[in-house]
Structure 1
Amino acid sequence: MDNNPHFIAELKYLKTEDGGRKTAAKSGYRPQVQFDFEKMSTSGSQKFVDKEIVFPGESVLAEITLLSPQFFEYKLKVGMQFNFHEGPIIVGSGKILELKDEKLIAVI
C-alpha cells in the first residue's frame, strides 16, 4: 500500500448500539471503503490525525490511503461521502475534506 494518503476525511464511527464496532479502532485500521456510485469497495488504511484510538460514537480526522486507488481515478471530489465497513456491517461514515492525489479528482 502507498505510504502517501489519497485524501483527508472526517470519519464518524457508529455507536455500538447502532451496529458499530464493539471495540475502539486504532490508527492504521483498514476497513473496506465504499462510495455510493461504486458497488466495489476497497480496503483503506485510516491514519488518525491527532489521535491514536477512536471509540464507538466518536468522530476523527484521518488520512486515508486506498489499497486500489485506480478504481477511483477521476471520480472523487471534496464533500463526497462514503461508508466504511467490516464485511457486510457498516461501522461508520466519512466525508472527504481534501484530495491529496490529483489522479482521483473528478473530471467535470
Structure 2
Amino acid sequence: MDLESMHNIVADITFSDDVPEPKVKGVRSGYAPHHKFSEVDWLASGFHEYQDEILHFPGETIEAKIRFVSWEHLRDFVKPGVSFEVRELHRVVGTGLVKEVSG
C-alpha cells in the first residue's frame, strides 16, 4: 500500500525501550498499531509509513506518515504539537508527537 499521498499526519515516533514489554522484534513500514490521544476516549488504528524499509527497534525515533482508519472522527483533536501513545491494545510500545496534519 502506498501511503505517500494518503497520510493524515506526519509524526516523530519513539519506540520505547523502558516499558514492561518493548517491541523487541522491530517494526517497518506497514506497521499498524493503535494510537491513544488524550482528548479521545478510544484507540485509533493507523498505518505507518517510514522513509525506509528496514526494521526499527526500541530506543529509536523515526518520522512516520500515518493514515488513520477513523480520521473523520479524529481530525478535530489532532494538531501539530499534540503527543500520543503508540499501543498494541493495552501494551504501550512508544510515543508520538504530531509534526504536520495533512488532511
Query: How far apart, in 2, do the equivalents of 1:87 and 1:65 lie?
Result: 18
Is 1:88 equivalent to 2:87 in the alignment?
Answer: no
Q: Are residue 59 (structure 1) and residue 61 (structure 2) matched?
A: yes
* SS of match in other structure, 1:29: coil
In structure 2, how many angstroms separate the alpha carbons of the residues matched to 1:64 and 1:25?
14
1:7 is the counterpart of 2:28: no
1-structure distance, mates of 2:45, 2:79: 19
> 2-side partners of 1:18 and 1:98: how far apart?
27
1:25 is aligned to: 27
User: Following the alignment from structure 2 to structure 1, what is the Cα–Cα distance between the partners of residues 36 and 11?
Assistant: 13
Task: Write the letter of the residue equivalent to 1:10.
Answer: D
With normalisation by structure 2, the TM-score equals 0.88
CA shift digits 1:36-61 (9 cap, x unpaired): 11111111111012453211111100
Asked if the contact 2:50/2:62 (under 8 Å) is kept, the reply is: yes
How many Å separate the matches in 2 of 1:9 and 1:51? 17
Query: Aligned to 1:18, what secondary structure does the other structure show?
Result: coil
Runs of 4+ in 1 over 4 A off after TM superposition: none
User: 1:44 maps to what in 2?
Assistant: 46
How many residues were matched structurally? 100
Give the match for residue 75 of structure 2: 73
- Name the TM-score, length of structure 1 as normaliser: 0.84
